[in-house]
Amino acid sequence: MAVRGYYTGDEVRAAEAELFGRVAAGVPMRRAAHGLANVVVGELRERTGGVVGRAVTLLVGSGDNGGDALWAGAMLRRRGVAVSAVLLVPERAHAQGLAALLRAGGRIREDVGSPDLVVDGIVGISGRGPLRPCAAEIVAAVDVPIISADLPSGVDPDTGVVAGPAVQADVTVAFGAYKPVHALAAPRCGRIELAPIGLRLPEPELAALAPASIGAEWPVPGPSDDKYSQGVTGICAGSDTYPGAAVLCTGAAVAATSGMVRYAGTGAAQVLANFPEVVAAETISSTGRVQAWVVGPGAGTDDLARERLSEILATNLPVVVDADALTLLATDPALLTGRTAPTVLTPHAGEFARLTGADPGPDRVAAVRDLAEKWQVTVLLKGRATLIATPGHPTLVNEAGGSWAATAGAGDVLSGVLGALLATGRDPSWSAAAAARVHALAANLAAHDRSPSGPGAPISASPLLHHIRSAIQTLRASVVRS
């Protein structure tokens, strides 16, 4: 399973300590600076058409992050860029980096001036909390693109939390490894570039599935497959109040794989009107053989809904528990007692609070891991950065790249895709992360349907559903390109 790993500050510092024992002093910093300088050069060319004679201002804090910026400034100066540095803590500026910048002809100044670009080297992975007032005032006055060294200053490296003034970067150059901030606070980071410095990293505890990996592993019919061998998905969704949930959830399962979908509930007429290939029944017991269940979207919280949830959770089949079923489960967690088959809970922040008694808080990764471990289930916590935790497995993250899916009914579509993947026998962690990726991509495709290269337009859940197959095709095409 190909993944992109995200490493905490502690994990990166441990890898750096090992690196320092293998290479000469100063080499890792100069490697990071070289990567940063190359990105700045690329941005100057893209934005201004040239490099020589362009102006860059460095915002330099204390410690190694400031040193990275200073060394990068020296390299830029040697390529003909006019480089100035604002030293936020002059007495603690990185001595060797500052000397290198001055030798190359760089200058020190008190204010940002009028540069073409600004480099944020204020704080790195050891920084915590918002920018201090002096730095915040300087950053607030910047009116040109900002390139951040390793992470946007003022954003927590491990949680992505912004607790006050912080840099809004146009580009972030990650040194040696991606950090959680690059997924959890991606909008603050802008475009993210990785500058390798030679770190030897362990298997990640937080990771994202590679798009090509999802495309390569997505279930498609083989030479000997039939409709049963490809997975039969059971959907228990919708009600007289919310019949659309049944249509969206069932339709997503139909679109996701080539197997078979069975529906149980009060929305059979609406489901069959939209998807005549679905086999419908009124009760769980009369549905027929399925290989995974999705329960809850728009299903209500009355006694009948509770009975259906209890009946489904009593099976030995994989189950996706979503929406109203999460509300019921929050009032009676004992419904999970003794359950050994894969169970995937898919809460948004409000539903998470109902399940646990508290919202996820600033450390969403820790929160989702804690619930998964406590209840021995897979938890998919929705958000722009969707998190998937399963006991004994790395936590997976899907950064959607936008918030186009923040629309009513979109979660019903996600659950249908996820249930269909579980029905094929796929691992719940992979299924949840792959479903989240396809869901996010479908939303993006729907938003840009009429003008792929232009700005997106607001969407609803129906066009998102209609782009599920296109999203799968896009990911499968990425296998060839990779």
The residue segments making up the domain with residue 450 are 211-481
CA distance 346 to 352: 9
Predicted confidence (pLDDT) per residue in 222-244, tens digit: 999 999 999 999 999 999 999 99
225 and 160, same domain (yes or no): no
- What residue has token string 């990911």? 475
Same domain flag for 414 and 468: yes
- pLDDT category, 481, cuts 50, 70, 90? low
Residues 145, 108 share a domain: yes
Distance of CA 143 to the CA centre of its chain: 28
Q: Which residues line the annotated binding site for (6S)-NADPHX?
A: 245, 298, 348, 412
The pTM of this model reads 0.96
Q: Looking at residue 63, what is its pLDDT?
A: 87
The amino acid occupying position 342 is P
Task: State pLDDT tens for residues 55-102.
Answer: 999 999 998 999 999 999 999 999 999 999 999 999 999 999 999 999
Residues 127 and 258 in one domain: no
Instruction: State yes or no: pLDDT of 147 exceeds 60.
Output: yes
Residue 450: band (very low, low, confident or very high) from pLDDT cuts 50, 70, 90? confident
Evaluated on CA atoms 124, 37, 177, 21, the torsion sign reads negative
Same domain, 336 and 245: yes
Distances (CA, A) of 263 to 82, 229, 280, 301: 66, 18, 5, 18
* Averaged confidence pLDDT in the chain: 96
> Residue 88 is encoded by which pair of tokens?
């936020």
Do 187 and 129 share a domain, yes or no? Answer: yes
Number of domains the chain is built from: 2
- Residue 168 clears pLDDT 90, i.e. is over it: yes
Query: Of 148, 174, 204, which one is at a domain's C-terminal end?
Result: 204
- Which pLDDT band, with edges at 50, 70 and 90, does 135 fall under? very high
Q: Are residues 217 and 173 in the same domain?
A: no
- The verdict on 179 and 305 lying in the same domain is no
Residues making up the binding site = 245, 298, 348, 382-386, 411-412
pLDDT at 221 over 60: yes
User: pLDDT tens digits, residue range 252-273?
Assistant: 999 999 899 999 999 999 999 9
CATH number at residue 139: 3.40.50.10260
What is the pLDDT at residue 482? 54
* Binding-site residue set for AMP: 382-386, 411
Cα 204–199–88 angle (5° rounding)? 100
pLDDT at 400 over 70: yes
